[in-house]
């Protein structure tokens, strides 16, 4: 990173995080498209690029924010009428397992993989059918991983600084998301994260960039090393809030430095949906 870039990022990070507010302020000068957080799973790349250039009707703040999603578009009624919505607040009522709940069939590295800034998130597009998990005898192929900051799934009412979603889709279209928390432990900079951040375009108008060799096995290692996993059935966390999404959340956060988290906050706007009601999660039923 050049010194000027570092300086710009430090200023941007200070603007985002320096106010003491729990919710970083949105960058005011950028008009964002906000397609579905899992849009790239469902749509082809070209479609996604088209959607991204169109003004979409929902967002994370004000009159387009999460409380109004269902009133914005009839296609989004699940966002308020759905009984199995995500994210939720994780407490003792959420089922947990100490066994690694899926088998991984991932390569060590992805080669020539694309990284993109969608405005509403930053994302790595997995090469088609290159990495998959097996859950209950069914293959789910990795479609992308992307970030939310702060985390969407709270733990006992608290949010980690960021949450990583590894979105997997089976041949019949059902979705399993593996979620990993990212926490500021101020260890050494993390190569998998630095390499990703270094390649993410500065904003959503810039084209995707290619990473020649990406060590995807690092994330698999982190996921396998979590001692406890929480799971439940919920939904997409963005319109149209489609249900039938299986969530598996690793309880042990993965380390990042303060600088890496600030960088992430600089690259995308606040993008966490608040906790939702979910009939599978007794504690969320009030
Ligand atoms: C609702 O979704 C359908 C199917 O994707 C689409 O054709 C239609 O235009 C959407 N309606 C609105 C109001 O966006
Ligand atoms: C993955 O990439 C790393 C770093 O470039 C390299 O050391 C390693 O040999 C690669 N692994 C495989 C299986 O190609
Ligand atoms: C897809 O497959 C899964 C796993 O076999 C099954 O639970 C689900 O009902 C199927 N979904 C559809 C839409 O067929
Ligand atoms: C977006 O990034 C591109 C490429 O870095 C830059 O040329 C452009 O000015 C940026 N646009 C905004 C709105 O910041
Ligand atoms: Zn997500």
Q: Which domains does the chain have, with CATH numbers?
A: 3-278 (3.10.200.10)
Find all residues with CB under 8 Å of 163, minimum gap 6, and list them.
Answer: 147, 148, 149, 150, 151, 152, 153, 179, 180, 181, 182, 272
Tokens describing residue 109:
């590295």
Top-confidence residue, 76 or 32: 76
- Report the residue among 11, 12, 203, 269 best suited for mutation to probe ligand 4: largest number of ligand atoms under 8 A from its CB: 203
Measured from the CA of 73, which atom of ligand 1 is nearest?
13
Distance 23 CA to ligand 1 centre (A): 31
**% of residues, the chain, pLDDT over 70:** 80
Distance 75 CA to ligand 1 centre (A): 6
Q: What is the pLDDT of residue 268?
A: 87
Q: Which ligand is nearest to the CA of 119?
A: 4
Top-confidence residue, 269 or 138: 138
Q: What is the pLDDT of residue 95?
A: 94
* Mean of per-residue pLDDT scores for the chain: 83
Question: pLDDT-derived band of residue 21, with 50, 70 and 90 as boundaries?
Answer: very low
Question: pLDDT-derived band of residue 158, with 50, 70 and 90 as boundaries?
Answer: very high
Q: Which ligand is nearest to the CA of 273?
A: 5
**Residues 205-250 pLDDT 10s:** 888 899 999 999 999 999 999 999 999 999 999 889 999 999 999 9
Q: Which residue has its alpha carbon closest to ligand 4 atom 5?
A: 202
Q: What is the pLDDT of residue 20?
A: 29
CA-CA distance, 258 to 192, in Å (whole number)?
15
| pTM > 0.85: yes or no | no
Average pLDDT for 111-131: 92
Average pLDDT for 26-36: 30
CA-CA distance, 175 to 255, in Å (whole number)?
26
Q: What is the pLDDT of residue 217?
A: 98
Distance 109 CA to ligand 2 centre (A): 6
Q: What is the pLDDT of residue 85?
A: 97
Ion ligand 5, residue ranges at CB < 5 A: 37, 165
Is 170:139 a contact under the CB 8 Å cutoff?
A: yes
Distance 24 CA to ligand 3 centre (A): 38
CA 191, 193, 194, 195 torsion-angle sign:
positive
């Amino acid at each position: 990173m050049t010194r000027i870039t570092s300086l710009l990022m430090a200023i941007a990070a200070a603007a985002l995080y320096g106010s003491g507010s729990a919710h970083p302020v949105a960058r005011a000068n950028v008009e964002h498209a906000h397609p579905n957080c899992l849009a790239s799973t469902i749509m082809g790349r070209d479609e996604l690029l088209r959607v991204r250039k169109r003004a979409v009707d929902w967002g994370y703040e004000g009159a387009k924010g999460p409380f109004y999603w269902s009133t914005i578009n009839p296609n989004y009624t699940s966002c308020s009428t759905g009984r199995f919505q995500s994210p939720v607040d994780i407490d003792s009522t959420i089922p947990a397992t100490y066994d690694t709940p899926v088998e991984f069939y991932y390569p060590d590295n992805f080669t020539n993989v694309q990284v993109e800034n969608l405005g509403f998130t930053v994302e790595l597009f997995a090469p088609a059918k290159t990495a998959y998990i097996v859950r209950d005898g069914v293959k789910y192929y990795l479609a992308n991983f992307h970030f939310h900051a702060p985390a969407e799934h709270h733990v006992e009412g608290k949010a980690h600084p960021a949450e990583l979603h590894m979105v997997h889709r089976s041949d019949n279209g059902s979705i399993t998301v593996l979620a990993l928390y990212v926490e500021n432990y101020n260890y050494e900079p993390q190569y998998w994260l630095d390499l990703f951040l270094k390649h993410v375009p500065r904003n959503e108008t810039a084209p995707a960039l290619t990473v020649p060799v990406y060590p995807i096995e690092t994330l698999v290692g982190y996921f396998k090393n979590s001692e406890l996993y929480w799971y439940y059935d919920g939904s997409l966390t963005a319109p149209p809030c489609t249900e039938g999404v299986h969530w598996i959340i690793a309880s042990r956060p993965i380390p990042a430095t303060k600088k890496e988290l600030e960088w992430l906050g600089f690259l995308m706007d606040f993008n966490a949906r608040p906790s939702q009601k979910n009939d599978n999660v007794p504690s969320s039923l009030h």
